[in-house]
């Protein structure tokens, strides 16, 4: 390897007792032995089974809808259509935590009213005594459609006379960036490189299809037990059901994978309505096919980069256009688009910059959040563009990158980088781990590729994000945490336990966490935006620290020591200068309790707050901070069949501080493999609005045989805004993987492929085209 590994700047990371250890996660054993009850795993007596009747047309007027035969079927208890809804408004905007206004255009109908806009649009609900009867009832629903002109392609949808999916002109969101002097920058360039890249619809393909159980309790409260990333939806659900917010109680379960697909409301309103109507418990469990039909997809994008560069590799200007396919409804498209706009140039400094971005409505499945939230698409484009520029200049891809990497204090697209930006540190370690390229042999060509990225963690700051946590030290010295965090499997609840364990000196196994309950646990905000460790980690840290202070102060009094000289560890208050001198924690707790000192604390952590930016020129702080890192891959391409074999994958991220290195490693490897799937095989193929990959037989995700074990390199700058200097890693883990794979394939075959997935056929046709030209 030519490139030298960049030495790490000095960091100050104190050795901790619990944090930084790869401890067994608190949720692990329950899941492994099968004790954890997911949303579909709890039944109730007298429970009804629900099914949803959905549109088979991409755009149509409902001429006639007759549910009378379904209603008449013995065993059917309830059939509902839009006419039967108390309110019927479905809020698809970000859940308002602090009362910010939602976009009016984002509201739609729970059940289609007159018009359906995509194949899968819900039209009617059935509740029946058995699942078989509910399924049968769906077949008895009669519907006649009057097809309406439909539009599927974003470019078509932007044309003046296009069929209107979202009024007035299908453009559901639009941003501009104008910075520096692009014209002058382009003139200063030695070459200008222009490319258009595209990425497809992608499904989350979590193993657990959406499910929920709803019932009304003795207080008249509608209870909904559901797998969701957002318990705060209880407010929108209450609105849809026409009940006060305090009559709607969400019991969030352990989520069998979310990745953004359970960020929007899924089954909640349907079962809420049916239980409201029937006064019986109602279960709704999507089949895999319905899951793929009903939930959001990752946005397809077309991204054009026009970049001016000097001969020695300095970017002088860039013009970027991003067009996202928003599908049939708005959902989170405006925010996804903002994320890709704000990271369109990637972790590179571009002073002369022009960006135009659009999210465009079509009669396709709707698109919304998916791990990375617009950044993987942007990263795919900027990292392929960087490699193409390097090729055109005859520079090493890393060398080109290193000349343009952002540094702390520099401005990205819109805001200043304020924490460590370890781009060279991560990329050079990836290169070192990749090592010398394996030699090609015959028709098998080997290539290596890397990608760098930056990605925010924490929500958009004008959402005024908060998280609350309630920590209690029990009389026996055990700890109870109550937090509304939804756990998607990333270790969200275990991480906050580990933090409390550190702060209070209580072993992890003596901490119990109650979580994800909209009524009984303090609201912690959404498990989205790589925010839970940052937000709820800090909230738990605050709450635990407040209790720690009470304990330490009381112990200081008793021991006649200064509080600064005391520490909490191993269920004891110890004297730092003489660890043999200590008080058992329980003794101090007893003292505090008898004196009425608080051993319980409800803390609220606030992210930095800002005001909304001007969409006409996206400038100013939007996100609290960024994570930086790199991914590398070595691939072997069979140039006769187009098949790809991954020989080696390496990921290196600065995670700030790894609270649980095993969990961090799991995020990095798992996210990387999702990126590998994105690069090599995943596509929800949609033709004229119809999904041609309706199940996991057609929609392929990587199996254990498709990927090598990723070499994970965890760096810790300690500069993050999370507890103990942690940054976020959930979404960033995925972002750079796909472009690194594609760059490696390009390196192997010498032809750039500009769209994913790079199926064997796509590789072969690229090779053929290259031969012909």
Partner 1 sequence: MDPKVITLTVNGRKHQVALPPNITLLRALREYLGYVDVKNGCEKGDCGACTVLLNGKAVNSCLVLAWQANNAEIITTSGLGSAENPHPIHRAFADEGAAQCGYCTPGMVISAKALLDENPHPTEAEIREAISGNLCRCTGYGQIVRAIQKAAEIINKEGDAS
Partner 2 sequence: MLPEFDLVMPENLQQALENLGQRNPGVVPVAGGTNLTVDMRSRRHTPATLVNIEHIQELTGILQEDDRIEIGSCVTIAEILKSPIIAAVAPALIEAARGFANPLIRNRATIGGNLADASPAADTAPSLLVHNAQVELWSKKNRRILPLDEFFVGVRKTVLQPDEIIKSVHVPKTNRPSASSFYKLGLRKADAISVASVAVYLEKKNGACGQVRIAMGSVAPKPLRAYAAEELLTGKHLSLKLIEEAAKLAAEASSPISDIRGSAEYRRRMVFVLTRRLLTHLAEMMELKDW
Supply the minimum distance, in Å, between the C-beta of residue 651 and partner 1. Answer: 10
Nearer to partner 2, 619 or 759 (CB): 759
Contact of residue 396 among partner 2, partner 1, none (CB under 5-8 Å per partner type): none
708 near partner 2, judged by CB under 8 A: no
What whole-number distance in Å separates Cα of residue 341 and Cα of residue 323?
A: 10
Nearer to partner 1, 594 or 703 (CB): 703
* Other CB atoms within 10 A of residue 69 CB: 14
761 near partner 2, judged by CB under 8 A: yes
Q: Is the dihedral of CA 97, 100, 105, 110 positive or negative?
A: positive
DSSP per residue, 281-325 = -EEEE--HHHHHHHS-BBPPEEEEEEEEE-TTS-EEEEEEEEEEE
765 near partner 2, judged by CB under 8 A: yes
Supply the minimum distance, in Å, between the C-beta of residue 649 and partner 1. Answer: 9
DSSP per residue, 746-766 = HHHHS----BS---HHHHHHH
DSSP per residue, 439-493 = PPBTTEEEEEEEEEEEEEES--GGG--EEEEEEEE-TTS-EEEEE-----SSSHH
Supply the minimum distance, in Å, between the C-beta of residue 697 and partner 1. Answer: 5
Six token digits for residue 596: 């009425």
Supply the minimum distance, in Å, between the C-beta of residue 631 and partner 2. Answer: 20
Nearer to partner 2, 285 or 625 (CB): 285
Supply the minimum distance, in Å, between the C-beta of residue 288 and partner 1. Answer: 4
Find the part of the chain contacting partner 2 (CB under 8 A) among 185-193, 229-237, 238-246, 757-765: 757-765
Contact residues: partner 1, CB under 8 A: 22, 24-25, 27-38, 40-43, 204-209, 254-259, 285, 287-288, 488-491, 662-663, 665-666, 669-674, 695-697, 701-705, 707, 709-710
Contact of residue 127 among partner 1, partner 2, none (CB under 5-8 Å per partner type): none
Nearer to partner 1, 207 or 692 (CB): 207
Among residues 250, 228, 240, which one has the least CA distance to residue 276?
240
CA 382 to chain centre: 20
Nearer to partner 1, 31 or 571 (CB): 31
681 near partner 2, judged by CB under 8 A: yes
Nearer to partner 2, 20 or 642 (CB): 642
Find the part of the chain contacting partner 2 (CB under 8 A) among 128-136, 350-358, 457-465, 536-544: 128-136
Query: What values do phi and psi take at 153, rounded to 5?
Result: -100, 135
DSSP per residue, 192-255 = EEEEEEEE--B----SS--EEEEEE-TTSPEEEEE--S-GGGHHHHHHHHT--GGGEEEEEPPP
Supply the minimum distance, in Å, between the C-beta of residue 526 and partner 1. Answer: 17
Nearer to partner 1, 18 or 468 (CB): 18
What whole-number distance in Å separates Cα of residue 679 and Cα of residue 380?
A: 9
700 near partner 2, judged by CB under 8 A: yes
Q: Pick out residues in 275-334 that bind partner 2 (CB under 8 A).
A: none
641 near partner 2, judged by CB under 8 A: yes
Query: CA dist 496 to 263, 514, 733, Å?
Result: 21, 11, 20
Among residues 718, 723, 663, 721, which one has the least CA distance to residue 540?
723
Contact of residue 208 among partner 2, partner 1, none (CB under 5-8 Å per partner type): partner 1
Environment class of residue 169 by beta-carbon count within 10 Å: exposed (0-12), middle (13-18) or buried (19+)?
middle
Per-residue string for binding with partner 2, 520-549, x by CB under 8 A?
------------------------------
693 near partner 2, judged by CB under 8 A: yes
685 near partner 2, judged by CB under 8 A: yes
702 near partner 2, judged by CB under 8 A: yes
705 near partner 2, judged by CB under 8 A: yes
Q: Is the dihedral of CA 607, 611, 615, 620 positive or negative?
A: negative
Supply the minimum distance, in Å, between the C-beta of residue 343 and partner 2. Answer: 30
Six token digits for residue 515: 């979580």
Supply the minimum distance, in Å, between the C-beta of residue 520 and partner 1. Answer: 23
Supply the minimum distance, in Å, between the C-beta of residue 740 and partner 2. Answer: 19
Nearer to partner 1, 513 or 568 (CB): 513
771 near partner 2, judged by CB under 8 A: no
766 near partner 2, judged by CB under 8 A: no
- Is residue 622 within 8 A of residue 610, CB to CB? The reply is yes
Q: Which of 169, 565, 619, 759 binds partner 2 (CB under 8 A)?
A: 759
Q: Which of 73, 131, 138, 188 binds partner 2 (CB under 8 A)?
A: 131
Supply the minimum distance, in Å, between the C-beta of residue 705 and partner 1. Answer: 5
Supply the minimum distance, in Å, between the C-beta of residue 26 and partner 1. Answer: 10
What whole-number distance in Å separates Cα of residue 78 and Cα of residue 129?
A: 10
Nearer to partner 2, 195 or 765 (CB): 765
Q: Which of 1, 29, 72, 132 binds partner 2 (CB under 8 A)?
A: 132
Strand 248-252 relative to strand 222-226, pairing: parallel
Residue 163, CA atoms < 13 Å, CB-side half-sphere: 16
Cα end-to-end span (Å), the chain: 33
760 near partner 2, judged by CB under 8 A: yes
Beta bridge partners of 281: none
Contact of residue 643 among partner 2, partner 1, none (CB under 5-8 Å per partner type): partner 2
Beta bridge partners of 447: 635
703 near partner 2, judged by CB under 8 A: yes
**To the nearest 5 percent, what fractions of the chain are helix, strand and coil?**
30, 25, 45
Supply the minimum distance, in Å, between the C-beta of residue 136 and partner 1. Answer: 13
Find the part of the chain contacting partner 2 (CB under 8 A) among 197-205, 318-326, 490-498, 692-700: 692-700
Supply the minimum distance, in Å, between the C-beta of residue 197 and partner 1. Answer: 25
704 near partner 2, judged by CB under 8 A: yes
Nearer to partner 1, 491 or 722 (CB): 491
Contact of residue 720 among partner 1, partner 2, none (CB under 5-8 Å per partner type): none
Environment class of residue 503 by beta-carbon count within 10 Å: exposed (0-12), middle (13-18) or buried (19+)?
buried
Contact of residue 723 among partner 2, partner 1, none (CB under 5-8 Å per partner type): none
Contact of residue 619 among partner 1, partner 2, none (CB under 5-8 Å per partner type): none
What whole-number distance in Å separates Cα of residue 11 and Cα of residue 658?
A: 14
Supply the minimum distance, in Å, between the C-beta of residue 302 and partner 2. Answer: 21
Which residue shows structure tokens 């595209």?
198
Q: Which of 142, 190, 616, 698 binds partner 2 (CB under 8 A)?
A: 698
Nearer to partner 2, 620 or 694 (CB): 694
Six token digits for residue 404: 């343009």
Nearer to partner 1, 38 or 514 (CB): 38
Q: Which residues contact 177 (CB under 8 A, 6 or more apart)?
A: 341, 344, 353, 354, 355, 413, 414, 617, 618, 619
DSSP state for residue 130 in the 8-state scheme: S
444 near partner 2, judged by CB under 8 A: no
Quick check: bond before 349 cis, omega within 30? Answer: no
Nearer to partner 2, 142 or 640 (CB): 640
Label residues 429-440 b or e (16+ Cβ within 10 Å = b).
Answer: bbbbbbeebbee
Enumerate binding residues for partner 2 (CB under 8 A). Answer: 131-132, 135, 640-641, 643, 645, 681, 685, 692-693, 697-698, 700, 702-706, 759-761, 764-765
């Amino acid at each position: 390897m030519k490139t030298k590994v960049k030495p790490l700047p000095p960091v100050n990371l104190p050795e901790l007792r619990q944090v930084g250890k790869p401890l067994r996660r608190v949720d692990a054993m329950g899941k492994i032995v099968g004790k954890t009850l997911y949303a579909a795993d709890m039944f109730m007596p007298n429970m009804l089974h629900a099914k949803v009747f959905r549109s088979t047309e991409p755009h149509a007027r409902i001429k006639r809808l007759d549910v009378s035969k379904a209603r008449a079927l013995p065993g059917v208890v309830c059939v509902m259509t839009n006419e039967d809804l108390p309110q019927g408004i479905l809020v698809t905007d970000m859940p308002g935590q602090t009362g910010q206004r939602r976009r009016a255009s984002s509201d739609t109908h729970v059940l289609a009213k007159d018009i359906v806009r995509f194949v899968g649009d819900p039209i009617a609900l059935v509740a029946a005594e058995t699942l078989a009867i509910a399924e049968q009832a769906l077949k008895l629903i009669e519907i006649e459609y009057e097809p309406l002109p439909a539009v599927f392609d974003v470019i078509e949808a932007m044309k003046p006379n296009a069929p209107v999916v979202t009024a007035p002109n299908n453009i559901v969101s639009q941003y501009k960036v104008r910075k520096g002097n692009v014209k002058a920058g382009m003139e200063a360039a030695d070459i200008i490189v222009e490319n258009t890249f595209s990425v497809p619809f992608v499904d989350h393909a979590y193993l657990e299809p959406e499910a929920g159980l709803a019932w009304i309790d003795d207080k008249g409260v509608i209870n909904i037990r559901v797998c969701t990333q957002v318990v705060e939806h209880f407010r929108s659900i209450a609105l849809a059901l026409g009940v006060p917010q305090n009559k709607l109680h969400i019991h969030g379960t352990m989520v069998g994978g979310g990745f953004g697909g359970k960020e929007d409301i899924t089954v909640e309103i349907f079962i809420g309505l049916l239980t409201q109507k029937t006064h019986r418990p109602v279960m709704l469990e999507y089949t895999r096919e319905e899951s793929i039909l009903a939930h959001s997809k990752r946005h397809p994008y077309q991204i054009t980069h026009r970049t001016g560069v000097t001969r020695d590799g300095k970017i002088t200007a860039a013009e970027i256009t991003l067009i996202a396919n928003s599908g049939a409804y708005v959902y989170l498209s405006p925010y996804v688009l903002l994320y890709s706009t704000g990271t369109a140039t990637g972790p590179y400094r571009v002073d002369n910059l022009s960006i135009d971005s659009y999210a465009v409505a079509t009669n396709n499945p709707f698109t919304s959040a998916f791990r990375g939230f617009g950044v993987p698409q942007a990263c795919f484009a900027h990292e392929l563009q960087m490699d193409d520029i390097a090729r055109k200049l005859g520079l090493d891809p890393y060398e080109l990158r290193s000349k343009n990497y952002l540094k702390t204090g520099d401005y990205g697209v819109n805001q200043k980088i304020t924490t460590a930006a370890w781009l060279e540190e991560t990329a050079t370690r990836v290169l070192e781990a990749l090592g010398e390229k394996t030699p090609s042999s015959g028709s098998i060509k080997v290539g290596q590729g890397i990608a760098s990225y930056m990605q925010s963690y924490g929500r958009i700051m004008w959402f005024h994000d908060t998280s609350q946590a309630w920590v209690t030290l029990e009389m026996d010295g055990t700890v109870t945490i109550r937090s509304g965090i939804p756990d998607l499997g990333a270790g969200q609840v275990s991480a906050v336990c580990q933090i409390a364990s550190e702060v209070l000196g209580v072993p992890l196994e003596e901490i119990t966490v109650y979580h994800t309950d909209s009524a009984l646990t303090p609201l912690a905000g959404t498990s989205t935006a790589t925010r839970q460790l940052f937000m709820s980690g800090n909230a738990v840290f605050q709450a635990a620290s407040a209790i720690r202070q009470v304990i330490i102060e009381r112990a200081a009094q008793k021991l006649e020591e200064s509080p600064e000289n005391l520490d909490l560890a191993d269920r004891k208050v110890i004297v730092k200068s003489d660890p043999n001198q200590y008080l058992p924690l329980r003794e101090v707790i007893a003292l505090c309790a008898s004196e009425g000192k608080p051993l319980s604390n409800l803390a609220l952590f606030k992210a930095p707050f800002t005001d909304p930016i001007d969409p006409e020129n996206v400038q100013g702080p939007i996100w609290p901070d960024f994570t930086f890192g790199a991914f590398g891959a070595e691939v072997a391409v069979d140039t006769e069949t187009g098949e790809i074999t991954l020989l080696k994958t390496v990921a290196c991220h600065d995670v700030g501080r790894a609270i649980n290195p095993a969990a961090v490693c799991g995020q990095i490897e798992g996210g990387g493999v999702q990126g590998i799937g994105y690069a090599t095989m995943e596509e929800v193929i949609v033709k004229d609005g119809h999904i041609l990959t309706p199940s996991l037989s057609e929609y392929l995700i990587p199996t254990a045989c498709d990927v090598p074990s990723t070499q994970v390199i965890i760096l810790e700058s300690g500069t993050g805004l999370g507890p103990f200097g942690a940054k976020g890693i959930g979404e960033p883990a995925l972002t750079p993987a796909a472009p690194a794979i594609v760059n490696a394939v390009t390196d192997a075959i010498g032809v750039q492929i500009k769209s994913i997935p790079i199926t064997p056929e796509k590789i072969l046709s690229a090779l053929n085209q290259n031969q012909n030209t």
